[in-house]
Structure 1
């Protein structure tokens, strides 16, 4: 399981005013979580639907692999992927709707939640 302190290494530089995307991407070079999250966030901020799709799909692939690993499987992970769902909701909120067609990102939840945010 990933240590949450590792994630903070990407957040601290952003708080100092450095490029948040570069800080996040350098949390763990080559790490699928960092790469997928960076692509998705950059896509949402820059209005790049392709970046959102690539980022969501990368995070979902990582999630599916973790669900397949019995050592790291948590019950909630077998039905719901929190990070891709939250980041997809961010993209929808910015007007960049992309539906990943995955049971791990329930579109009904996105639609219901988005209406409550606006």
Structure 2
């Protein structure tokens, strides 16, 4: 299994964001297409997404570089809020929060999902 926090995110470039709700509730998927420092374009796929916050700023003429990306711990307030909203129905589901701080526009992407993969 890939450790999200050990991936070299700094200065990778966010190229595209896709949200797939063709099968809502059964598998909500969010995909970030990212060009890494080696020039390789990869899809970072978040599966079984329960919540996301795309706090994006626009109007800057520059590629959207990633400053940092990491997983928040179980004490993360957004993660606690999602568990609280479901009033115990998610208590047996292990969710993670993935956070991307973007450099070019000072934007933030937060995703709460069961897991992720990179293709």
Instruction: Note whether the superposition's TM-score is higher than 0.5.
Output: no
Which structure has greater strand proportion?
2
- Normalising by structure 2, what TM-score? 0.26
Comparing both chains, which one has the higher relative contact order based on Cα–Cα distances under 8 Å and sequence gaps of 6 or more? Answer: 2
